[in-house]
Amino acid sequence: MSSIQNKVVLITGASSGIGEATARLLAQRGAHVVLGARRTDRLEKLAAEIKVAGGSARFRRLDVANLDDMQAFVDDAHEAFGKIDVIINNAGLMPLSPLDALKVGEWNQMIDVNIRGVLHGIAAGLPIFKKQKSGQFINVSSIGGHAVFAGAAVYCATKFAVLAISEGLRQEVGADVRVTVISPGVTESELASTITHEGMQEGMREFRKIAIPPEAIGRAIAFSIEQPDDVDVNEIIVRPTASPY
């Protein structure tokens, strides 16, 4: 029996890309997946497909930038299952642009989703994990959390923040709660569709020609979950073999 069997796993940004692929994989391995995103039509379809395949899934509309929304998402899952084993803070935005384009609104969106969204997941889940004396946060960063690229300064800053927050959390929660950071390289997803700057759009099309499928990231996430409780996999970087970054 998989050690993922019967674990209750909450996934933000579950309507596409890494979140969707991870939900399908973990459900196949016996987890009860709880799906959160803003696009409920996609969540409903995904949950139905997981159930048809023999898995367990429920969903709820979620805006991670709203703390009350995140709290309700976590509380609903806890009420339904009586426990929460894993929270995957996966929701993210990547509207890249040079700083002199002054896309301040897009900067704020990335800060709200990529940083506050992770903090809200921690705020909603940590009291439950501490009471249970068990649990795991899996926070999705990026190779952009390890190096800064022109045109991606704010995005990279948000992903560096995910690393810093996760490491601080790991040091604070100690023996009972596991903290994992997954840093994907170029991965097939809808992230690039949020880019509005024409020059960055063209550059990203070239950059993404070697993208790996989101299932590759899902397998890394599953690996971190299935470790024994006394083993905390703190960070995994997953990128295309051909990637120079």
**Cα–Cα dist 178/181, whole Å:** 10
Terminal-to-terminal C-alpha distance of the chain: 37
Token readout for 173 is 């929660």
Catalytic residue among 59, 107, 137, 155: 155
186 close to 210: Cβ distance less than 8 angstroms? yes
Residue positions counted in the chain:
245
Characterize 7-32 residue by residue with b for buried, 16 or more Cβ atoms within 10 angstroms of its Cβ, and e for exposed: bbbbbbbbbbbbbbbbbbbbbbbbbb
CB hemisphere CA count around 181 (13 angstroms):
24
In DSSP terms, which residues pair with 135 in a beta bridge? 177
Is 245 marked active-site?
no
Helix (H, G, I), strand (E, B), or coil: what is residue 181? strand
**Cα–Cα dist 5/180, whole Å:** 19
Nearest alpha carbon to residue 220 among 183, 169, 178: 183
Nearest alpha carbon to residue 90 among 174, 178, 159, 152: 159
Active site amino acids: 155
